[in-house]
């Protein structure tokens, strides 16, 4: 049995969620394909007959502008140090951009075997792939460099093979049917948050948080009652989330419910409320209370 922890870092939009979905299937895409702004580290667990790979899916890296983003950057650093192998994903850009350089600086400090995935190779020709490879070989930092296309499922099996080769023998850290360490409440709150952000069209840039107030299965029924509160920073935002005649919040609920039902494999009765907590993002205390650390 081989097992171990593999951290996966990359800036937002390079295709991490797509990769995880190809490795682990649709339920994972519900979990990992969420807007970046408040996402914490998520462990995503791959199992087969003779291995367990625990991917530490870290938040996409961006320049920290507030406490929450600072925290996300710390999460990435920590998971790099805790893991057995580090995977760095870049996309089809031909040169190394500013954020990628920032991540490379982090990686330099981490004394672990490293794999580089060049994603979106379906958008590149052979010459371009070679050019990117050469750039990174020049850094002398990576044990393996693998061009992939997460979208077209190209070379992902090779990546898994290489990870297995590199891992040591180890125990089953999690039950073999477990796919993530996050509890259902957290994932449900992320689904609601995502649907809210989508329905709000950037009217409230990043300023919402979703708290699950109640989460109960009805006796002898395949049905859950879930009560959640969408927390906003301002009274004006509250009005926006509720919408005219409550239309907006109704839409958010209608979009979230089917996805929660797929994830929970159960019928869902979802009730949503909206509440104002001023400047919640800036307040480290609230960030802590809401479970980011
Ligand atoms: N052409 C091409 N597009 C891809 C590939 N992988 C991902 N994409 C696209 O790139 C975009 C971003 O992919 P995501 O998987 O959401 O990226 P991410 O890194 O998880 O982004 P964050 O959630 O912001 O961290 C989506 O539109 C994907 O369809 C690929 O191999 N080829």
149 lines ligand 1 (CB under 6 A): yes
**% of the chain beyond a pLDDT of 70:** 83
pLDDT band at 158 (very low <50, low <70, confident <90, very high): very high
Rounded to 5 degrees, what angle do the CA atoms 277, 278, 279 make?
Answer: 120
Q: In the 8-state DSSP scheme, what is residue 58?
A: P
Q: How far is the CA of 11 from the centre of ligand 1 (A)?
A: 11
15 lines ligand 1 (CB under 6 A): yes
253 lines ligand 1 (CB under 6 A): no
183 lines ligand 1 (CB under 6 A): no
d(CA 10, CA 50): 28
Q: Does the fold of domain 184-289 match that of domain 2-166?
A: no
Give me the residues paired with residue 205 across strands: none
* Token pair 């710390």: residue: 74
Question: Per-domain residue ranges for the chain?
Answer: 2-166, 184-289
Reading the block at residue 85, the tokens are 């192998």
d(CA 163, CA 148): 14
Pick the CATH number of 184-289 from 3.30.300.20, 3.40.50.2300, 3.30.479.10, 3.40.50.20: 3.30.300.20
17 lines ligand 1 (CB under 6 A): yes
CATH topology of domain 2-166: Rossmann fold (3.40.50)
pLDDT band at 165 (very low <50, low <70, confident <90, very high): very high
Q: How far is the CA of 149 from the centre of ligand 1 (A)?
A: 10
Rounded to 5 degrees, what angle do the CA atoms 250, 32, 194 make?
Answer: 20
Q: Given the CA of residue 21, which atom of ligand 1 is nearest to it?
A: 15
pLDDT band at 29 (very low <50, low <70, confident <90, very high): low
Burial-class residue 135 by CB neighbours within 10 Å (0-12, 13-18, 19+).
Answer: middle
d(CA 40, CA 90): 20
DSSP one-letter string for 61-78: B----SHHHHHHHHHHHH
Structure pTM? 0.72
Q: In the prediction, which pLDDT does 67 show?
A: 67
pLDDT digits (tens, 9 = 90+) for 1-14: 999 999 998 888 89
- Return the top range by mean pLDDT from 51-60, 102-111, 142-151, 281-290: 142-151
Mean pLDDT estimate for the chain: 85
d(CA 70, CA 184): 26
Residue nearest to atom 32 of ligand 1 (CA): 120
Q: In the prediction, which pLDDT does 36 show?
A: 44
Q: In the prediction, which pLDDT does 99 show?
A: 83
Q: In the prediction, which pLDDT does 293 show?
A: 39
Q: How far is the CA of 21 from the centre of ligand 1 (A)?
A: 11
Closest CA to 190 of 56, 28, 76, 64: 28
Query: CA 163: distance to chain centroid?
Result: 20
Answer yes or no: is pLDDT of 28 > 80: no
């Amino acid at each position: 049995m081989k097992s171990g922890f593999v951290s996966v870092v990359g800036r937002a939009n390079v295709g991490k969620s797509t990769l995880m979905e190809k490795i682990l299937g649709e339920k994972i895409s519900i979990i990992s394909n969420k807007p970046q702004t408040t996402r914490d580290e998520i462990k995503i667990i791959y199992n087969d007959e003779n291995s367990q790979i625990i991917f530490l899916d870290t938040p996409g890296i961006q320049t920290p502008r507030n406490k929450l983003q600072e925290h996300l950057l710390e999460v990435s650093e920590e998971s790099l140090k805790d893991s057995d192998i580090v995977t760095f994903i870049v996309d089809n850009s031909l040169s190394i951009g500013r954020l990628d350089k920032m991540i490379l600086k982090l990686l330099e400090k981490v004394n672990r075997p490293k794999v580089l995935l060049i994603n979106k190779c379906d958008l590149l020709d052979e010459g371009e792939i070679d050019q990117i490879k050469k750039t990174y070989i020049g850094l002398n930092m990576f044990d393996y460099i693998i061009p992939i296309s997460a979208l077209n499922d190209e070379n992902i099996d090779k990546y898994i093979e290489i990870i297995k080769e590199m891992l040591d023998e180890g125990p089953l850290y999690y039950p073999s049917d477990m796919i993530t360490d996050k509890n259902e409440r957290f994932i449900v709150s992320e689904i609601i948050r995502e649907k809210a952000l989508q329905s709000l069209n950037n009217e409230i840039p990043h300023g919402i948080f979703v708290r699950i107030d109640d989460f109960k299965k009805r006796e002898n029924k395949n049905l859950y009652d879930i009560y959640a509160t969408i927390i906003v920073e301002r009274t004006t935002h509250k009005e926006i989330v509720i919408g005219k005649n409550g239309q907006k919040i109704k839409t958010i609920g209608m979009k979230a419910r089917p996805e929660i039902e797929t994830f929970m494999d159960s019928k869902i009765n979802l009730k949503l409320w909206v509440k104002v907590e001023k400047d919640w993002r800036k307040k480290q205390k609230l960030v802590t209370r809401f479970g980011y650390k």
